Amino acid sequence: MAAPGPPPPFLAEVRAALGPHRVVTDPARTASHAVDWTGRFRASPPVVVRPATVDDVVAVVVAAGAHGVALVPQGGNTGLVGGATPLDGEVVVDLRPLHEVRDVDELGGQLTAGAGAPIAAVQEAARRAGWAYGVDWAARDTATVGGSVGTDAGGLRFVRHGSTRRQLLGVEAVLGTGEVISHLARVEKDNTGYDLGGLLCGSEGTLGVVTAARLRLVPPRPDAAVALVGFASVAAAVDAAWAVRRGIGGLEAVELMTAAGLELVCTVRSWPAPLPTPAPAVLLVEVASAADPGSVLAEAVAGLDGVVDAAVATDGPRRAGLWRYREAHTDAIATLGAPHKFDVTLPATELAGFVVDAPGIVAAVAPRARTWCFGHAADGNVHVNVTGLAADDEVVAEAVLGAVAERGGSISAEHGIGRAKRRWVHLARTPAELAAMRAVKGALDPHGICNPGVLLP
Ligand code: 2HG
Ligand code: ZN
């Protein structure tokens, strides 16, 4: 049965404040907001509000508090854990109209981006100012700053720059109370009290609606080299990721792929195999050192154990040509049906064993499912994707997340908890930690209207 929609007085108040065209109820126009990127989480077409200003967001939150209407903030809707899907009849707050990138500080390397700005727009604004933005992933053209802050997105360059939280100098947000906190100051070093931006980062919309972020930029590194390195075993590739992390200065990325994933990508895209010699696992390594990164990389690869083949690219198009094998994984896997996604992190000593064991852990409880492992090897973060499961299957999550916890890992590296992993949060946080989170939520979202279906069990 479809969840009931928001009460008419709420709609009337929001229409009066935002203008009627900013409250969309036509199912033909709202259906795309009802399903997450994977297609696994599907709701009835929701009511979608499209605030154009921070005051609009305040009006929505205040009306929601008064009428007990739950809200789900949404940006590019590229999330992978059902964290922005209105499964319980929540009103979707579409933040894409707030997409302005402004107040670029060319000298200090900072800018302010509206929650609806795509990551690629931030990267482009940074480039025009002579800087770069340190967070990047394949969905960059669609994924937004608000979603990146909401999930504390990590991405492909975490090993170099850390996750979104590390880029965040402050946020502007409408808390669940309806109050606006705005810290978009231009200073970089500032330890005045609680880090409210850091707290909202990764809170998945459960404390308020982030409307803008002040972001730190990083020096550009146009001279880079990328290597694809084939290894004789998955364990050798993972071990090499740690050796690379310790041994190479100027490391930008270390990405793990397996033979199965690469074969799927090549089949779906009709691409040739990336390396002439077949290898059970391949690492993509990017280096951007000041002098001659190609030589630095070639020398480092020559010193690694278990290498069966390697290709190094230094010019932009060939580097992009190697990267596309990694970036195409998510889309290629999606062609097999809605995947279940587990973005887990393992301690360094456990990563290789876990990646080797993962297909067996899945097969033991779901013999017909297929398991795809890839990810950010030098962060200890592997993406375990499982296809061929019913949307509501929980047996595989229980097995995979349980195995991760047993090995001292975390069940959420960068996609957030959302709906998909909510039942298993206790594997990664103690009762005292969860109680502290609930206390924070109670203070900042006293009416319980901010994305109540996610994160906290
Ligand atoms: C990536 O690293 C993203 O490409 C998506 O985090 C991972 O599709 C996935 O599971
Ligand atoms: Zn990732």
Question: 47 C-alpha to center of ligand 2: Å?
Answer: 30
Q: Which of 307, 327, 347 is the last residue of a domain?
A: 327
CA distance between the termini of the chain = 23
Residue having the nearest C-alpha atom to atom 10 of ligand 1: 383
The position carrying tokens 């973060």 is: 381
Most ligand 1 atoms within 8 A of CB, residue of 265, 415, 421 to mutate: 415
Residue having the nearest C-alpha atom to atom 5 of ligand 1: 330
Please identify, by atom number, the ligand 1 atom nearest to the C-alpha of residue 326. 4
Question: 14 C-alpha to center of ligand 1: Å?
Answer: 36
Question: Is 439 part of a structural domain of the chain?
Answer: no
Q: How far apart, in whole angstroms, are the C-alpha atoms of residue 122 and residue 102?
A: 10
Question: What integer pLDDT is reported at residue 215 of this predicted model?
Answer: 98
**Claim to verify: residue 268 and residue 364 sit in the same structural domain:** no
What CATH number is associated with residue 295?
A: 3.30.70.2190
**Claim to verify: residue 264 and residue 363 sit in the same structural domain:** no
Question: Is 117 part of a structural domain of the chain?
Answer: yes
Question: 154 C-alpha to center of ligand 2: Å?
Answer: 7
Please identify, by atom number, the ligand 1 atom nearest to the C-alpha of residue 383. 10
Strand order in the sheet with 48-49: 23-24, 48-49, 91-94, 71-74
Question: 230 C-alpha to center of ligand 1: Å?
Answer: 21
**Claim to verify: residue 239 and residue 323 sit in the same structural domain:** yes
Question: 412 C-alpha to center of ligand 2: Å?
Answer: 11
- Is 80 in contact with 36 (CB distance < 8 Å)? yes
- Residues of the chain short of pLDDT 70, as ranges, are 1-3
What CATH number is associated with residue 59?
A: 3.30.43.10
Please identify, by atom number, the ligand 1 atom nearest to the C-alpha of residue 153. 6
**Claim to verify: residue 291 and residue 383 sit in the same structural domain:** no
Question: 79 C-alpha to center of ligand 2: Å?
Answer: 11
Question: Is 352 part of a structural domain of the chain?
Answer: yes
Question: Is 348 part of a structural domain of the chain?
Answer: yes
Q: How far apart, in whole angstroms, are the C-alpha atoms of residue 209 and residue 328?
A: 31
What CATH number is associated with residue 145?
A: 3.30.465.10
Find the ligand nearest to 143 CA.
Answer: 1
**Claim to verify: residue 318 and residue 357 sit in the same structural domain:** no
**Claim to verify: residue 122 and residue 179 sit in the same structural domain:** yes
Question: Is 144 part of a structural domain of the chain?
Answer: yes
Q: How far apart, in whole angstroms, are the C-alpha atoms of residue 309 and residue 261?
A: 17
Find the ligand nearest to 138 CA.
Answer: 1
Question: Is 364 part of a structural domain of the chain?
Answer: yes
Question: Is 187 part of a structural domain of the chain?
Answer: yes
Question: 383 C-alpha to center of ligand 1: Å?
Answer: 6
Find the ligand nearest to 385 CA.
Answer: 1
**Claim to verify: residue 204 and residue 229 sit in the same structural domain:** no
Instruction: Output the CA torsion sign for 155, 158, 159, 160.
Output: positive
Cα angle 253, 257, 262; round to 5: 130
Q: Which amino acid is at 450?
A: C
Question: 382 C-alpha to center of ligand 2: Å?
Answer: 8
Q: How far apart, in whole angstroms, are the C-alpha atoms of residue 388 and residue 94?
A: 31
Find the ligand nearest to 79 CA.
Answer: 1
Q: Which of 75, 94, 113 is the last residue of a domain?
A: 94
**Claim to verify: residue 131 and residue 238 sit in the same structural domain:** no
What CATH number is associated with residue 406?
A: 3.30.70.2740
Question: What integer pLDDT is reported at residue 3 of this predicted model?
Answer: 67
Question: Is 193 part of a structural domain of the chain?
Answer: yes
- Could you give the C-alpha distances from 21 to 4, 51, 173, in angstroms and in order? 22, 10, 23
**Claim to verify: residue 81 and residue 188 sit in the same structural domain:** no
The count of structural domains within the chain is 4
At 397-439, the pLDDT tens digits run 999 999 999 999 999 999 999 999 999 999 999 999 999 999 9
Question: 399 C-alpha to center of ligand 2: Å?
Answer: 21
**Claim to verify: residue 203 and residue 271 sit in the same structural domain:** no
**Claim to verify: residue 178 and residue 275 sit in the same structural domain:** no
Q: Which of 200, 216, 232 is the last residue of a domain?
A: 216
Please identify, by atom number, the ligand 1 atom nearest to the C-alpha of residue 327. 4
Query: What domain range is 403 assigned to?
Result: 336-415
Question: What integer pLDDT is reported at residue 2 of this predicted model?
Answer: 62
- Nearest Cα to 113, choosing from 157, 155, 166, 170? 170
Residues with beta carbon inside 6 Å of ligand 1? 80, 137-138, 330, 341, 375, 383, 385, 414
- Nearest Cα to 138, choosing from 376, 400, 451, 454? 376
Most ligand 1 atoms within 8 A of CB, residue of 340, 374, 382 to mutate: 374
Residue having the nearest C-alpha atom to atom 8 of ligand 1: 330
Find the ligand nearest to 40 CA.
Answer: 1
Question: 5 C-alpha to center of ligand 1: Å?
Answer: 33
**Claim to verify: residue 115 and residue 212 sit in the same structural domain:** yes
